[in-house]
Structure 1
């Protein structure tokens, strides 16, 4: 109960706990944003977000606002010729172990020009370090902001939105800001623009009438065009690269272009040839298409090459990096998950982290805070005891909190926003909740708990393409492409154990013992279809099995593999002892497609299940039951959880951690969760594993699960 009350306090304080603090930093001679980011254990993207003008470079004496990550500052060193990890460790009087902790990327080697952390800067005054002071966001930003000059609007013009246009692109074409457009088209605060929309664009005093402006260095090349005939093996990338334009610019020149690029088709391209692929792509190099929102920093992290090398291979990058641009990189330098697959198809996303931009995560669970009386502690404790959905929500949330902190130690920072969905079938309230908050830049929503609520959120946030991860429901969504089902369905679990038995069913006597009723009749028919020669034990009225009926289906000289399908404690307590008595004499092994709560009843003896070597499919490894995995020890998460809350985590707390930690690592190893869902292989954590697939119609589902058996001495062992 103390744990639940503690989590409630954390929940109430969530707004303040995750409020970002800042400190100011005066740029020293020779410093750049990347080196400053290393000093404060943050990322260049985080600094650019608060200091947009820093993208154009920083000057000595300039003051920047720096987000505080761990309130530590680090000494930095720029790698020079002849530097080694060992020499630098000696030079800065730190151990090589500490060096690698400060610079995990150094395990793959260090390069000339690379910036490394080589020790912490000792704090003399906790409120001021080398001219940097820790203050609230408003104070720092207020001290840096420039009061904009108010501009007078003289008239408006109308712009008709074209295919694939964005607000940002339109704002640049007309020399206004996105906010200027939204102010005069207020529906855009809650809606996205669509083709053929008509927008009011303001024209400000002392400015010429806005005209369409191409904002990159390709203006002159786009001014004169010619026709180009598609050749075999041509791609949009190769054509764009050859003519020095982005894929987006190629598509704007050819709005009706067939994306299949049939040989012989003619398209419009710039007259001048910017660079020939044949001349630039030398042996040992390859082409790479820049992804949306990708930065040069991310490319450097993913490839492990230096900035100087990248610019030498792609000199036009100094004009700016754009999505769709095709650049040259050394072959086999991109870190992908395909070469990280370990035994059993498990992948370690921690080895391929490259996207360290802060993640914006929303948690939506039924806390029902409005029904609690915090002044009456006894009433609150009684409510917590009796409200199952609330206990599950609190357990999930406690796991998410530790996942966020664990991801932070790997360089992934998270802005966590928590929302109370209150109850099931709460469509009107949830729509109001979403309407009152800005979800446009949210990377992912974890929750809601109930399927109905989760589908409402998926529907409302589909316009932003925001992924919704359902933490508990086993129901699939056939409606929404942005819906992620994290728990395998009952059908998937059934198929897993049926497939296992099917692979080794030769010379086995398959027996089916199924409870009466529609639900169990369906699984019985499914088993009969898979095992046509299976014997069916007759069940009497009241779900009772006589020993004589069992003897008729057992085989004395052949192993007996028995499927027991029931959720009736009385039936299980009747059948299992009968099977247990025959376990040795008739080589009986027990299976079930659904190990439900009836199997955990006090009337069912685990000693008998152990003797029968019960096999069953499971969503998780069942930590509480101490599943044995050879060589596995208690995880850091379990230790951390027990230290934080004073008790071992239950299955829901572990599930909250596993889901959130997997999501954050996937975001750190990819541009977004849709790209991360395509990773080949399975991710696995404390109890749960994940391997997502996309349905033809609908969202994503997790097809990863476990097959567990009762072994001797009451131990549980993972079979698959």
Structure 2
């Protein structure tokens, strides 16, 4: 039975039995259930109830039954970059207050891709009924009344929006759509050629007052003073640097003292030396909302607006605001909840082909493929090549797996060869068309990935560092996929802290300055802990251990060392005491020393060693997951940890791209994604890029079994 027939039957049954009114809605390209619900003033849950299959996603052309209480249908607006409540109200001929009435949440700010109601389409098609006594005269026909005297052609560039193009030519979005009919149902694409109407009454690029479109209408002349910068002047007047340049298209790039420029009449918080102590400047990131910002700063939106009056109409990417230092919960980042797990596979809607770059050190120029024995010997010696090949094999399975869900991928692969390969990397960047890519995975080496990130910053292409533990403090397009050492430490310490009451906490830390900071960190968190006396040479005597153990309480022991000799000395001592005392072992870093043959896993299992990990460390030989089965079928062997990681990172990127417009938008999702052995929850640094805060707590259980406890 087709969906149209099902809908007709459903409409008939409900009209007879429940007298419920329905409308049929044909899904347009790019629509999702949330946007449709907003249009008909219902909740997504109501739509799912009537259309159960919609929970698994909706497709263009599909017919949905929409239950409605009356015959009203809301006109909606999709917020684009640069939009404010004020500019939207002008576009639809209503007041900001009327937008707030229809969208109370907009008082806390609006963000890109948010759906706003801008009125109710009346049945007479003569205007918009706002639901109260006021009727807003916004024509349904999209007509503006102006007659063009000529047309010009605009070729769409990458990253351009219809809003930006309209502002550049001093026309409305509706006026562009009127002369490019396909834009009523489709979005613009790179290299599209648009017919732009030219009107006699208004010069291109300006409003009726001669002010460039996209800026405030009331301007005044400002004389550049010593120490003035574009950044400072733009911030003082509540605009972005881009808007300042739009106001002054002929501005001298050298920004000389004494130059006269146009600026908005209003002056807000002063910049520079007058910034009060205890406050700092912050640049608004793409997709950032008022809600996420006030939650992060732990202050009210009213307080933030008092400090920054010009944000009352909403936040714009690139805007610089004043924020209080002391109210920042974590000076490093914007944090998102880790506890909630999200399944992106069930939320896919963006099926546009994804373009992914992969940069790995294959070092193909060093391989003699004509001599098998030499090739095999080279593979044995070159660990980085083995890692790269395994990682890449996982990426290929991820691409195949995403394809089964409707996400196709154009994969471009580049050989970065060696570490610190400045010349080679720059040659790759010149030859390839990176500006069109949705993401780049790699390179493996930190020096190379930093270089690639810097080169691609101008295109805002996200770069995912797959292996390095180091984070970038410079580039907003940098994505660190491995949780840092500090994050793993905090993960375990927090885990212990939750249940440390009535526990005898013991701290055993290796001597030396390298471990001093961690020792102080543990003491600060557990001020009543007992500190083991470590002898010169990093040895612990049994008598010193006996003094700090407690026979009546559970003994929770931190062992922090990368010295095999020290670990092989301490573990047997603790294991012997475990016969008469309750001993549980913890370490913030299970490094290679713990895997040494001198350390018996049976003893670690007996004391239930707990440690943080970036992955689950499962035995993939025993796993029956689709990825593992597909990998075995294609390559004839079980995937190792590098292949699993390659799959998890690539598949997560593709799923995020399938559920958002870009990866910056997808990084704002609250919650954690999880696949074979790895999970991801990206948070934004105040200065710098994104990092992954998701990790596991692993426990050595009985019979040498590894168990995920958090």
What is the TM-score when the length of structure 2 is the normalising length? Answer: 0.57
**1:384 maps to which of 365, 379, 391:** 379
Superposed displacement of residue 260, structure 1: 10
**2:401 maps to which of 406, 416, 423:** 406
Superposed displacement of residue 113, structure 1: 5.6
For residues 661 and 716 of structure 1, what CA distance do their matches in structure 2 show?
25
For residues 481 and 451 of structure 2, what CA distance do their matches in structure 1 show?
17
**1:690 maps to which of 675, 680, 687:** 680
* Residues 1:415 and 2:410 are matched in the alignment: yes
Structure 1 residues 113 and 442 mapped into 2: Cα distance closer, same or farther (>3 Å)? closer
Superposed displacement of residue 115, structure 1: 7.8
**1:605 maps to which of 581, 600, 609:** 600
Number of the residue aligned with 2:694? 704
For residues 177 and 514 of structure 1, what CA distance do their matches in structure 2 show?
64
For residues 52 and 375 of structure 2, what CA distance do their matches in structure 1 show?
45
**Contact map agreement 2:152 2:195 (CA 8 A) in 1:** no
* Residues 1:503 and 2:498 are matched in the alignment: yes
Residues 413-472 of structure 1 deviation map (CA, whole Å, 9 limit, x = unaligned): 000000000010101110111111111101100000011100000111111111000000
1:99-248 aligned at under 5 Å gives the runs 114=62, 175=153, 215-216=195-196
Superposed displacement of residue 570, structure 1: 2.2
Superposed displacement of residue 652, structure 1: 0.9
For residues 538 and 522 of structure 2, what CA distance do their matches in structure 1 show?
19
Number of the residue aligned with 1:454? 449
Number of the residue aligned with 2:639? 649
What is the TM-score when the length of structure 1 is the normalising length? Answer: 0.56
Superposed displacement of residue 503, structure 1: 1.9
Superposed displacement of residue 178, structure 1: 7.4
Superposed displacement of residue 106, structure 1: 5.2
For the residue of structure 2 that corresponds to 1:82, the secondary structure is helix
For the residue of structure 2 that corresponds to 1:609, the secondary structure is helix
**Contact map agreement 2:681 2:693 (CA 8 A) in 1:** yes
Superposed displacement of residue 114, structure 1: 2.4
**Contact map agreement 1:78 1:113 (CA 8 A) in 2:** no
Superposed displacement of residue 522, structure 1: 2.5
For residues 428 and 696 of structure 2, what CA distance do their matches in structure 1 show?
37
Number of the residue aligned with 2:612? 617
Number of the residue aligned with 2:364? 369
1:315-334 aligned at under 5 Å gives the runs none
**Contact map agreement 2:620 2:639 (CA 8 A) in 1:** no
For residues 173 and 618 of structure 1, what CA distance do their matches in structure 2 show?
61
Residues 504-524 of structure 1 deviation map (CA, whole Å, 9 limit, x = unaligned): 222221111122232223322
**Contact map agreement 1:624 1:650 (CA 8 A) in 2:** no
**2:477 maps to which of 462, 474, 482:** 482
1:241-320 aligned at under 5 Å gives the runs none
* Residues 1:82 and 2:8 are matched in the alignment: yes
Superposed displacement of residue 474, structure 1: 0.8
Structure 1 residues 597 and 110 mapped into 2: Cα distance closer, same or farther (>3 Å)? closer
Structure 1 residues 457 and 259 mapped into 2: Cα distance closer, same or farther (>3 Å)? farther
Number of the residue aligned with 2:391? 396
* Residues 1:678 and 2:668 are matched in the alignment: yes
For residues 682 and 660 of structure 1, what CA distance do their matches in structure 2 show?
15
For residues 498 and 109 of structure 1, what CA distance do their matches in structure 2 show?
41
**Contact map agreement 1:655 1:688 (CA 8 A) in 2:** yes
For the residue of structure 2 that corresponds to 1:693, the secondary structure is strand
1:8-87 aligned at under 5 Å gives the runs 81-82=7-8
Structure 1 residues 441 and 110 mapped into 2: Cα distance closer, same or farther (>3 Å)? closer
For residues 633 and 684 of structure 2, what CA distance do their matches in structure 1 show?
39
Superposed displacement of residue 573, structure 1: 1.7
Report the RMSD for the aligned CA atoms in angstroms: 4.0
For residues 453 and 433 of structure 1, what CA distance do their matches in structure 2 show?
12
**Contact map agreement 2:337 2:670 (CA 8 A) in 1:** no
